[in-house]
Amino acid sequence: MSLKYARFAGATGVRIGTVAVAAFVTQSCSGLQSPLNPGGDLADRIDHLFWIFFAITAVVWLLVIIAMFSGLRRKPPRPDPLALQPDAERRMGVTVASAAGTTAAILIALTLYSFFATRGFGVIPGNALRISVIGNQWWWEVQYQGANPAGQFTTANEIHVPIGRPVSLTLNSRDVIHSFWVPNLAGKMDLIPGRTNILNFTPTRAGIYRGQCAEYCGLQHAHMALLVVVEQPNEFDAWRANELADAPTPSDPEVSRGMAVFTADGCAGCHTIRGTGAGGMLGPDLTHVGRRRTVAAGTLPNSRGNLQAWIADPQGIKPGAKMPRLDLSGPDLQAVTNYIAGLK
């Protein structure tokens, strides 16, 4: 390798390294799916915990490296191997004992700090917004609890919560173990069949935060995402009022035909659309699916084109998904898509 090329390669390597580090830092510290960009109280505590661990362990690492290099550079005198050196031995003993003591003290302090950091989050506040989240292969069922049945509704893959009000999630699974992880808001919590786990947090900053199933749960584990929309209380109330309502009845004859195809051609066997004859329980509730931001649990952005592609061939987009390909005719596919896209 010529010197010129070596310099070029070195400079390029440094540049690539800088870009990679910068990308890592910006990605991990500011993303819509990052524990280092907290939007809630629990994530805030975890963020502090991370930086304190990082700072203390970085200082320890630096001190160890400095000690090692100064030890390597020192040229010790060559003493008589048989001579006793009580002073030097005592100093060495004190150094080793204090290093071991400091290590133990740091470990105990960090353990206590991490213990107390998330303590108290197991208690459900009285005014908490209670939401039941049920893991399914490979989507999230979201049931908003209310004081009475009139205040309850079911949606999927997108959770809305108001800023400042505590949220209590009850986590369950209908099939295998999944894990709920929205890093900007809280730590991970598993959804386990036959067991109920609770996750409490209070959102503190408006935004749309992405969550991802964090426990391998089968073929489409990677396509099991969700969004949490943290919004102003009045925006949340408007969203909730709309979700509580039945699906709008289409007036356009073409859209009405889509509704008829949906109800007659198998879709209704798995999906519920409140206010219609469709009452299936196997797939996501589609009553207001047109307002959600994604299709197929975060797999595609919600657009008319993506909806149609998904209905036409779910197995092509998410192989192994429980939704079968129905082989609708072209006009039926168009009509159903128009109907579904209009469920706002």
CB of 129 to ligand CUA, least distance (A): 23
Residue 153: which of 35, 274, 37, 56 has the closest Cα?
Answer: 274
Residue among 221, 274, 291, 322 that touches ligand CUA (CB under 6 A): 221
Q: Apex CA 118: angle with CA 113 and CA 122, to 5°?
A: 145
Q: Which is nearer to ligand CUA, 47 or 215 (CB)?
A: 215
Which of 38, 135, 166, 298 is the binder for ligand CUA (CB under 6 A)? 135
Chain-centre distance for alpha carbon 167: 16
- In whole angstroms, what is the distance from residue 104 CA to residue 72 CA? 26
* 185-217 exposure pattern, b = at least 16 Cβ within 10 A, e = fewer: bbbbbbbbeeeebebbbbbbeeeebbbbbbbeb
Residue-wise DSSP of 1-69: --HHHHHHHHHHHHHHHHHHHHHHHHHHHHSTT-TTS--BHHHHHHHHHHHHHHHHHHHHHHHHHHHHH
Residues 156, 161, 217, 340: which binds ligand CUA (CB under 6 A)? 217
Smallest gap from Cβ 141 to ligand CUA, in A, equals 12
Shortest distance in whole angstroms from residue 317 CB to ligand CUA: 17
* Residues contacting 155, CB < 8 A, separation 6+: 142, 144, 243, 284, 285, 287, 288, 292
Q: Which of residues 249-268 bind ligand CUA (CB under 6 A)?
A: none
The region of 87-95, 108-116, 216-224, 271-279 touching ligand CUA under the rule CB under 6 A is 216-224
Binder to ligand CUA among 159, 167, 224, 328 (CB under 6 A)? Answer: 224
Among 158, 215, 231, 285, binds ligand CUA (CB under 6 A): 215
Amino acid at 60: V
CA atoms of 286 and 196, how far apart (whole Å): 25
Complex with ligand CUA: residue 61 or 216, whichever CB lies closer: 216
Rounded to a whole number of angstroms, the minimum distance from the CB of residue 178 to ligand CUA is 3
Q: Is 271 in the site for ligand CUA (CB under 6 A)?
A: no
Q: Is 296 in the site for ligand CUA (CB under 6 A)?
A: no
Cα–Cα distance for residue pair 270/278, rounded to 1 Å: 8
Cα→Cα distances 130→235, 270, 314, Å: 18, 26, 32
Minimum Å distance from CB 26 to ligand CUA? 27
At 242, the amino acid letter reads N
Which of 216, 275, 319, 329 lies at the binding interface for ligand CUA (CB under 6 A)?
Answer: 216
Regarding 213 and contact with ligand CUA (CB under 6 A), the answer is yes
Which residues in the 147-186 window bind ligand CUA by CB under 6 A?
178
Which one, 158 or 215, has the nearer CB to ligand CUA? 215
Helix (H/G/I), strand (E/B), else coil: 211: strand
Which is nearer to ligand CUA, 34 or 157 (by Cβ)? 157
Beta carbons of 121 and 60 less than 8 angstroms apart: no
Distance CA 287, CA 308 (A): 17
Q: How many residues bind ligand CUA (CB under 6 A)?
A: 9
Contact footprint for ligand CUA (CB under 6 A)? 135, 138, 178, 213, 215-217, 221, 224
